[in-house]
A = this chain, B = another copy of it.
Amino acid sequence: MTTIKDIAKAAGVSVTTVSRALNGYSDVSEKTRKKIMDIAKQLNYSPNTLARSLVMNKSKTIGLLVSGMTRSAVKDNFTFEVMTGVNDYIAKTDYDVILFNTNSTKQREKTYSQLCRERRVDGVILQGIKTDDPYLTEVVESDIPCVLIDIPIQSDRVGYVTTDNVYGAKKAAQHLLGLGHRNIAMMNGHDYAFVSKQRLQGFCEAMEEANVPIQKEWIVNGDFSEEVAEARAYELFTKHENITAIFCASDLMALGVMKALKQLGLRVPEDVSVVGYDDILLASYVSPALTTVAQNKFQMGYEAASMLIDMLEGNEAKVVTLRTQLVVRESTAEVKKG
């Protein structure tokens, strides 16, 4: 592998000059620059970024720390779409993305911030980690610039991008209320996600503003999992036959709920209306198509990357809140009179 030294030797100049020539400094004559460039090309030179990073003290890499890169999570393109957004923005810069392995046992031995520090990433994007993850605080407290997705923590070195979860959930609930439903349940995620709290809040706000009493036992946690949600929904709907609608904090859980309803012989939307959250790909393909609150996952990743690069260039951390959109499909209908 050819180095700057080889070029220097071939061109009969010092390594300093080669370096400065290649990097476009002005204190090298056009003649020698040309010569150096030619030799570099001829020798098929590519700079060793490791060496460069070492001396410049920046690696031009950002770390991407996602959960949800698991075999079971493919149904939920959430992670992938976010990654795509990140990649899309980063592709326009001179940064590269390094993917950190988080879903394995290695998580125990090496903390996130250790990973980041070892690889000397310039910044990091975190997605999908639980709020009680002991390493979350560690990263946030470290001085590594970082942007979080759907975790509202902010400092001068950490920003986040999220969506208007409260309002999104509120719209979903209001949609059901508008259809005449009063006995509305909610399938929430788990307590270790901020979005759960926020969506619950939005749900409650809508109910309260409509003067509809909230039944605590109608609000259950499905752990953001299709299977768990199915089981919980099965219990819920056998115990409380008067529920006519349910708002789910994720589409995946909505799918599970619909399975449970089918098993119970309840029709969607004739007997029970269900609305999801996320607008994953499947939402428009299942039957009946799922009414849901759409969030632009691609843009979330894109904005996160954009903010991070901004921060690396000296700007300060921000918070970006994207708008959600209620998309009404076939899984919701007016409540049956009677």
Q: What residues make up the interface of A, taking CB atoms closer than 8 Å to B?
A: 1, 46-51, 53-54, 59, 61, 64, 69-71, 73-75, 77, 79-81, 83-85, 87-88, 90-92, 96-101, 103-106, 114-115, 117-120, 281-282, 285-287, 298
Residues of B within 8 A of A104 (CB): 88, 91-92
Q: Which one of B49, B96, B281 lies within 8 Å of A281 (CB-CB)? A: B281
Q: Which single member of B47, B80, B100 contacts A74 (CB below 8 Å)?
A: B80
* Given A50-B119, A98-B99; 6 other pairs, CB 8 A cutoff: A48-B54, A70-B84, A73-B84, A88-B104, A92-B105, A281-B282
| Contact partners of A59 in chain B: CB under 8 A | 50
Given known contacts A96-B99, A98-B98, is B90 in contact with A69 (CB within 8 Å)? no
Q: Which residue of B lies closest to A70 (CB)?
A: B84
**A99-B64 contact given A77-B77, A106-B91, A285-B286, CB 8 Å threshold:** yes
Q: A99-B99, A282-B282 are in contact. Are A69 and B84 (CB under 8 A)?
A: yes
Q: Are B120 and A48 in contact (CB under 8 A)?
A: yes
Cβ–Cβ < 8 Å partners of A117 in chain B: 1, 46
Partner of A46, one of B46, B70, B83, B114: B114
Of A74, A99, A287, chain B has the most CB atoms within 10 Å of the CB of A99
List residues of chain B with CB within 8 A of the CB of A286: 285
